[in-house]
């Protein structure tokens, strides 16, 4: 007999949290689970931006394309914001539920400060319910169902500085749903010389995204599929708002990379990949990095097999054939397509094994062999 998500999270709480020491003796943890009292995560519940007040203490959220209408004492789809008498507040501000000091390559961001670490954090909740989610214990939980650390934005920025990590990453769940924490932390980090990156599904309305572009340094978008049917059935979302976000990022000059988790039989059709590559070339250009990542059975999609390597290689070949310059294969450690190759001379600019940089031949943002300017944000 199966157990529910809430039963799993509650049972995991009894086991405690697996903690470890990161760089500079900073206490970080693996994906945290369960245990914190609801009062602990709602002592301070500030008002969120981007919502409309309606009659009878109703509100309508304008943060993401779902635009939930929420009654008094109710929550929207993401579950981490609540209508309190016509005021929409966030429930986990200053209480991230996951905290790690990760290699930036884990995000993955391959053209952003390679070889450095990022203090990575999340608050519970998501505006999608992807059947294949790798972090569903966080994304599909409510703030009161997960352990919360007492870390206000200033604490996170100080943590990054103490760890020697040049970047803070908002990740694991969906940062759009903890927008206020992300924005406040990124803005403060910018003042202190700490960069910020958003690891997102791209399902966010234009105005909030435009504001974020003023405080972020890079965005990684999980591009689920080039298919409205996939988004609506597998994620409970829609494709067009994600495409609109990508075009917005391009127009704002924000550095961003794409990740495509390739799921056998669901989003691996070669014709669909070819259409996607054409759209990327027409709307984003040849230099946006694309990471095709290997699927492993997770959450509600345990009936499928891991992605065949040949499917990933075929997708890469299609995109490279369409003119894309930087196409990677992920979750296959040691594959040659983990490396960054110079589009001009074909030499290895960065050699990788998993999250480890084995060789970095990028000099002042240029290929060390031929001097070609490589797009990205370099040390």
* β 27-29/340-341 pair status: unpaired
The parent domain of residue 27 ranges over 1-34+96-220
- Compute CA distances 306 → 2, 130, 132, 188, whole Å: 22, 17, 12, 41
User: Do 153 and 194 share a domain, yes or no?
Assistant: yes
Is 277 contained in some domain? yes
Give the CA dihedral 90, 18, 188, 378, nearest 10 degrees: -130
Helix, coil or strand: residue 303: coil
Read off the tokens for 121: 């954090």
Picking from 272, 278, 264, 274, the residue whose alpha carbon sits closest to that of residue 309 is 264
CATH of the domain at 149: 3.40.50
User: Are 216 and 253 spatial neighbours (Cβ–Cβ below 8 Å)?
Assistant: no
Within this chain, do residues 214 and 229 fall inside the same structural domain, yes or no?
A: no
Residues 9, 118: one domain? Answer: yes
DSSP, collapsed to helix, strand or coil, labels residue 348 as: strand
Distance (Å, rounded) from C-alpha 19 to C-alpha 30? 6
Give the number of residues written for the chain: 379
Confidence (pTM): 0.90
CA distances 209 to 90, 123, 205, Å, are: 18, 18, 6
Token pair 């794409």 is found at 258
CATH number at residue 300: 3.20.20.70
Answer yes or no: do 7 and 112 share one domain: yes
Examine residue 294 and state whether it is found in any structural domain, yes or no. yes
Look up tokens 């699927």; give the residue: 295
My answer on whether 1 and 139 are in the same domain is: yes
Domain boundary residue among 176, 199, 220? 220
In a domain, 379, yes or no: no
The answer to whether position 39 is within a domain reads no
85 found inside a domain: no
**Looking at the structure, do residues 116 and 183 belong to the same domain, yes or no?**
yes
- Domain boundary among the residues 220, 254, 280 is at 220
Instruction: Answer yes or no: is 41 within a domain.
Output: no
Interior CA angle at 167 toward 177 and 146, to 5°?
40
How would you class 256 by CB atoms within 10 Å of its CB: exposed for 0-12, middle for 13-18, buried for 19 or more?
A: buried
Could you tell me if 188 and 333 lie in one domain?
Answer: no
Phi, psi angles (nearest 5°) of residue 323:
115, 0
> Domain for residue 50, yes or no?
no
Q: What residues form DSSP beta bridges with 12?
A: none
Same domain, 102 and 18: yes
Residue 291 near residue 323 (C-beta atoms within 8 A): no
Strands 117-122 and 167-170 turn out to be parallel
For residues 264-290, one letter each, b for 16 or more C-beta atoms within 10 angstroms of the residue's C-beta and e for the rest, the string is eebbbeeebbbebbeebeeebeeebbb
Indicate whether 323 and 188 sit together in one domain.
Answer: no
Distance between CA atoms of 215 and 196, rounded to whole angstroms? 7
In a domain, 76, yes or no: no
Measure the CA–CA gap between 332 and 327, rounded to whole angstroms: 14
Instruction: Give the pLDDT score at 38.
Output: 40
Last residue of a domain, one of 220, 237, 265: 220
> What is the residue-level pLDDT of the chain in tens, covering all 379 positions?
333 333 333 333 323 323 333 433 333 333 333 334 343 445 689 999 999 999 999 999 999 999 999 999 999 999 999 999 999 999 999 999 999 999 999 999 999 999 999 999 999 999 999 999 999 999 999 999 998 899 999 999 999 999 999 999 999 999 999 999 999 999 999 999 999 999 999 999 999 999 999 999 999 999 999 999 999 999 999 999 999 999 999 999 999 999 999 999 999 999 999 999 999 999 999 999 999 999 999 999 999 999 999 999 999 999 999 999 999 999 999 999 999 999 999 999 999 999 999 999 999 999 999 999 999 999 8
Helix spans in 175-291 (H): 179-192, 206-212, 228-230, 240-252, 270-283
Number of compact structural domains in the chain: 2
Give the single-character DSSP code of 57: G
> Are the C-beta atoms of 48 and 211 separated by less than 8 Å?
no
């Amino acid at each position: 007999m199966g157990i529910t998500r809430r039963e799993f999270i509650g049972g995991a709480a009894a086991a405690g949290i697996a903690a470890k020491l990161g760089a500079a003796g900073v206490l970080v943890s693996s994906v945290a689970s369960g245990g914190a009292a609801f009062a602990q995560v709602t002592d301070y519940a500030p008002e969120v931006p981007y919502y409309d007040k309606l009659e009878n203490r109703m509100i309508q959220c304008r943060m993401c394309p779902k635009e939930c209408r929420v009654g008094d004492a109710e929550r929207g789809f993401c579950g981490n914001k609540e209508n309190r008498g016509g005021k929409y507040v966030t429930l986990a501000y200053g209480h991230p539920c996951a905290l790690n000091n990760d290699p930036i390559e884990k995000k993955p961001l391959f053209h952003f400060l390679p070889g450095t670490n990022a203090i990575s954090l999340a608050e519970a909740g998501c505006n999608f319910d992807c059947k294949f989610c790798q972090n569903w214990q966080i994304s599909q939980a409510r703030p009161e169902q997960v352990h919360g650390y007492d870390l206000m934005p200033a604490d996170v920025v100080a943590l990054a500085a103490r760890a020697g990590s040049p970047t803070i990453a908002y990740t694991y769940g969906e940062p759009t749903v903890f927008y206020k924490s992300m924005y406040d932390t990124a803005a403060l980090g910018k003042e202190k010389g700490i960069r910020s990156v958003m690891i997102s599904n791209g399902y966010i309305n234009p105005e909030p995204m435009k504001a974020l572009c003023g405080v972020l340094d890079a965005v990684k978008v999980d591009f689920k599929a080039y298919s409205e049917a996939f988004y609506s059935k597998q994620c409970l979302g829609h494709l067009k708002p994600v495409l609109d976000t990508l075009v917005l990022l391009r127009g704002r000059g924000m550095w961003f990379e794409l990740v495509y988790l390739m799921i056998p039989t669901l989003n691996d059709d070669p014709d669909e990949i070819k259409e996607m590559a054409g759209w990327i070339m027409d709307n984003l250009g040849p230099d946006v990095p694309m990471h095709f990542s290997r699927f492993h059975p997770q959450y509600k999609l345990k009936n499928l097999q891991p992605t065949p390597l040949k499917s990933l290689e075929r997708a890469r070949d299609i995109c490279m054939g369409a003119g894309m310059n930087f196409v990677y294969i992920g979750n296959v450690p040691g594959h040659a397509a983990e490396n960054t190759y110079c589009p001009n001379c074909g030499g290895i600019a960065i050699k990788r094994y998993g999250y480890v940089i084995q060789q970095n031949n990028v000099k002042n943002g240029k290929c060390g062999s031929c001097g070609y300017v490589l797009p990205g944000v370099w040390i």
